[in-house]
Amino acid sequence: MTDTLAALVTQGFTPPLRLSDFRLAAFDMDSTLINIECIDEIAAVAGKKAEVAAITEAAMRGEITDFKDSLRRRLALLKGVPEAALEQVLRERLQFNPGARELCAALKAAGLKLLLVSGGFTYFTRHVATELGMDWVRSNELEIADGRLSGGLVMQAWGEICDGEEKRRMLLACCAEIGADAKTQAIAVGDGANDLPMMGAAALSVAYCAKPKVREQAMVAINAGGLDQVLSVLR
């Protein structure tokens, strides 16, 4: 491994790959494009971070295998939290991870389409997608009643919860829409166990500051520094 790849671990291929061979890149949001797990920070505003974060961590490590169940358990703990907590998290706590803007800009300049697919919430994905120029977004819609979280989600046309299988399905659907082959022309970037299905469906899988199980299965693991280090394995 060269010094320029010192913060990367590559396995399963010999870099560099040709950026021109790819047509789509799919990204997780929480702890991948941004520096926080939004649900944990909402819980922090409500004074329940420890309880919610423990479930989040176990789910991301793959110790809780049913993502939908883990999300429902965490949402139940947030019932009654004021809607204003969402704005507070967005304004005071959400930041983009190093290199996120640079990577997305470079991929778009190279002609790739971008997909944001998240087990998080539309309140935050809308902001992130606008800032980074995403072409598609898939995430969960928090149900709000009388200005407070109900502890549930809104049923959307595609379903209620964006879990690992929905991330994979969305990646494949977007590839099909533009006539691309996911297994040869798609990149998938994530950090948690629920990202593994879409990472497994892509030509290039990237783990960013990820859980051990995800690092082990990814073709590229970025363990320190910025997301734009992905460009080091693409020419």
Q: Which of 21, 28, 146, 195 is catalytic?
A: 28
How far apart (Å, rounded) are the C-alpha atoms in residues 17 and 233? Answer: 6
Q: Identity (one letter) of the amino acid at 173?
A: A
- Beta-ladder partners of 194: none
Beta bridge partners of 82: 148
Contact 17, 235 (CB under 8 A): yes
Instruction: Based on the residue annotation, tell me whether 30 is a catalytic residue of this protein.
Output: yes
**Which is it for the CA torsion 53, 54, 57, 58, positive or negative?**
negative
CB environment 163-197: b (16+ within 10 A), e (fewer) = bbebbbbbbbebbeeeebebeebbbbbbbbbbbbb
- Assess whether 21 carries a catalytic annotation: no
3-class SS string, 192-204: CHHHHHHHHHCCE
The Cα 99–Cα 84 span in angstroms is: 29
Q: Which of 3, 21, 30, 66 is catalytic?
A: 30
Catalytic residue IDs: 28, 30
